[in-house]
Amino acid sequence: MGKPVLFINACVRKDSRTRRLADALLKKLDLPYEEVRTEAVRFPAADEAFLKLRDRLIAEGDFEAPLFDPARQFARAETIVIAAPYWDLSFPAALKQYFEQINVLGITFRYTAEGMPVTLCRAKRLYYVTTAGGCFVPEEYGFGYVEALARSFYGISDVRQIRAVGLDVDGADAEGILRSAEASIREV
């Protein structure tokens, strides 16, 4: 059995401001956690051979195959924390690859006869931690995408965003913005 919190870390910079906020949240939660560093994962190429293998394993119900380790880990977590900086108009591409690996019919969700998704995940809460240098951070390019997956496929009804934006705007008090975000974490 895994730890109660799954920390999906999409931060790559040594002095990541997003990681700083995520660390404050993890400290506040004060629970054991497993960490997945998306930069360290070697995601398989989603080519035809991979898709045929994945489809065959799902059809056979072979959900213990190592290919599905990330999906099983995600499904058994009680709380999810995702740390993802907002870059280049979204979150890091490795996080999208991670979602492609955990969206497994029969492990993280199933469909009803009417085609509606039903969760197979345990988590009831997901925190999405992000920072951005600018102030224009459309929800649908980051948090909104994750929130829609969490609510629609993973059955996570309590989805919260912790963010600090405008950090690199001329004249901004980046440290003050980060401290304000950390203060909001203490209220979680």
Question: What are the pLDDT digits (tens) for 73-119?
Answer: 999 999 999 999 998 889 999 999 999 999 999 999 999 999 999 99
Question: What are the boundaries of each domain within the chain?
Answer: 5-186
CATH label, 5-186, candidates 3.40.50.360, 3.90.550.60, 3.50.30.60, 3.30.56.10: 3.40.50.360
User: pLDDT tens digits, residue range 12-26?
Assistant: 999 999 999 999 999
Model's pTM, two decimal places? 0.94
**pLDDT over 70 (residue 2):** no
**pLDDT over 70 (residue 1):** no
Burial category of 127 from C-beta neighbours within 10 Å (exposed 0-12, middle 13-18, buried 19 and up): buried
When mean pLDDT is compared across 68-72, 85-89, 167-171, 178-182, the lowest value belongs to: 85-89
pLDDT at 25: 98
For residue 45, which amino acid is it?
A
Mean pLDDT computed over every residue of the chain: 94
Annotate the chain with three-state secondary structure: CCCCEEEEECCCCCCCHHHHHHHHHHHHHCCCEEEEEHHHCCCCCCCHHHHHHHHHHHHHCCCCCHHHHHHHHHHHCCEEEEECCCECCECCHHHHHHHHHHCCECCCEEECCCCCEEECCCCCEEEEEEECCCCCCCHHHCHHHHHHHHHHCCCCCEEEEEEECCCCCCCCCHHHHHHHHHHHHHCC
